[in-house]
Amino acid sequence: MEVTIERILPGGLGLAHAEGKTVMVALAAPGDRLRVQIDRVKGNVSFASIEEILTPSPLRVEPPCPYFGRCGGCDFQQMHYQAQLEAKAEIIKDCLRRLARIENIPDFQITAAPNPWHYRSRAQWQYDSIRQTLGYFESGSRQLCDVAACAVLAPELENTLESLRARMQEGLLPDSARDFRAVVGDEAVSIAPSIRSPTVREGSDSIKDSAEIRDITRTIHGETYRLNAESFFQANDGLLPQLIDTAIGEASGETALDLYCGVGLFTLPLARRFKHVVGVESDPAAASFARENLANARLTNAEVAIRDVGVWLDDVKRHDLSRLSEESAAVLQGQMDFVLLDPPRTGAESRVIAGVLGLKPRRISYVSCDPATLARDLKKLLAGGYTLHSLAAFDMFPQTHHVETVVHLVVA
């Protein structure tokens, strides 16, 4: 079948219409004239892959990575960088229009990454000890694409991947490892394997035993964060100062909440602007780093609850203040000035949105790495009495369709 790509959809596929069908094509560029092969059909939509580029879009470039097309990591290398940014802005608008039903989307900027290549300071590599392969999952599958070099990794992580590969070839990686996560610090790289079975954790060849899950320090926008490869941290340092400034904006006042706070990326700067801050994070290791980071910064006006955000907000809603610390309870009884939420890709659960609305904050800042779940949650927040004040996007993930969005809401 021959198609012309109209635009890029949320999820990164190119949209086309032909022979009465809606066709979604992987790794396409807007304006491409393509011969495609239908791989699967779901309802009215045919999912296709490119057989031949009949007329390339003017936005198309030769993907520089030899693994492109097979590796599931990047799906935008076929477009030049400006076209990637435009496609991402369209993706955000599409989600807000279709899923959040926002008619007048305010003008917004998408901030380009300072480095469209070699930017990733955090990565996860899959490992197959039987086939002796190390790399990323292939697109849409659990097959492993063996990757010797990756063009979006920061140089420190390229070196780490190379040295893990060398150790694999010498038979020195633990068979029990399923994957390796790594994060760059100011002084070193922290590496953590995920181990298949807890029993083999005892093995003497385990990287875990060789004390390589070291804690590292990251200095971002004047704040110092301790963390290691097992905790979440943003993957693109280059844009973090702007992301933090935009997420917090001019906000200041009495009380702020930092939901899904991780190791405290936003909690520390919030604690410098608000009298009382509570962070909530379910991963005990990340939460304990957040506490350590606040203590090291001598910020005694913030605390971190190690809880599921939904459960924590339910306790607040039920006024079950006995389950909250004295400090949290006191803070939550007053007027909430600012709630920042930065959930994982799946977005916030309904009870989280209901819990946030119940707190009646003056302002909400939603930081999201998925425009579709952001739009879904935004619809509920708008219906709950808030209005969209501003919107900004950051290209934290060049060469992929992923994009970070920050939305500020105020009481309508």
Ligand X SMILES: C[S@@+](CC[C@H](N)C(=O)[O-])C[C@H]1O[C@@H](n2cnc3c(N)ncnc32)[C@H](O)[C@@H]1O
Which positions touch ligand X (CB under 6 A)?
Answer: 232-234, 260-262, 265-266, 280-283, 286, 308-310, 342-344
Q: How many CB atoms lie within 10 A of CB 319?
A: 11
> Which residue among 65, 71, 74, 369 is the active-site one?
369
CB of 309 to ligand X, least distance (A): 4
Nearer to ligand X, 152 or 305 (CB): 305
Nearer to ligand X, 138 or 283 (CB): 283
Nearer to ligand X, 158 or 308 (CB): 308
Q: Given the DSSP bridges, would you call strands 33-42 and 2-4 parallel, antiparallel or unpaired?
A: antiparallel
Q: 193 is written with which tokens?
A: 């394997």
Number of residue whose CB is nearest ligand X: 262
Active site residue 95: no
Nearer to ligand X, 61 or 311 (CB): 311
CB of 7 to ligand X, least distance (A): 27
Question: Which three-class secondary structure string do you get for the chain?
Answer: CEEECCEECCCCCEEEEECCEEEEECCCCCCCEEEEEEEEEECCEEEEEEEEEEECCCCECCCCCCCECCECCCCCCCECHHHHHHHHHHHHHHHHHHCCCCCCCCCCCEECCCCCCCCECEEEEEEECCCCEEEEEECCCCCEEECCCCCCECHHHHHHHHHHHHHHHCCCCCCCEEEEEEEECCCCEEEEEEECCHHHHHCCCCHHHHCCCCCEEEEECCEEEEECCCCCCCCEHHHHHHHHHHHHCCCCEEEEEEECCCCCCCHHHHHCCEEEEEEEECCHHHHHHHHHHHHHCCCCCEEEEECCHHHHHHHHHCCCHHHCCHHHHHHHHCCCCEEEECCCCCCCCHHHHHHHHHHCCCEEEEEECCHHHHHHHHHHHHHCCEEEEEEEEECCCCCCCCCEEEEEEEEC
Distance CA 398, CA 58 (A): 19
| Max CA distance (Å), the chain | 67
Nearer to ligand X, 32 or 237 (CB): 237
Nearer to ligand X, 245 or 283 (CB): 283
Q: How many CB atoms lie within 10 A of CB 47?
A: 16
Nearer to ligand X, 35 or 345 (CB): 345
Q: 19 is written with which tokens?
A: 């022979």
CB of 179 to ligand X, least distance (A): 17
CB of 279 to ligand X, least distance (A): 9
Residue 338: what residue type? F
Tokens 């799946």 belong to residue: 346
CB of 358 to ligand X, least distance (A): 17
CB of 260 to ligand X, least distance (A): 3
CB of 86 to ligand X, least distance (A): 25
Residue 256: what residue type? A
CB of 395 to ligand X, least distance (A): 16
Nearer to ligand X, 45 or 311 (CB): 311
Distance CA 204, CA 242 (A): 44
Active-site residue numbers? 369
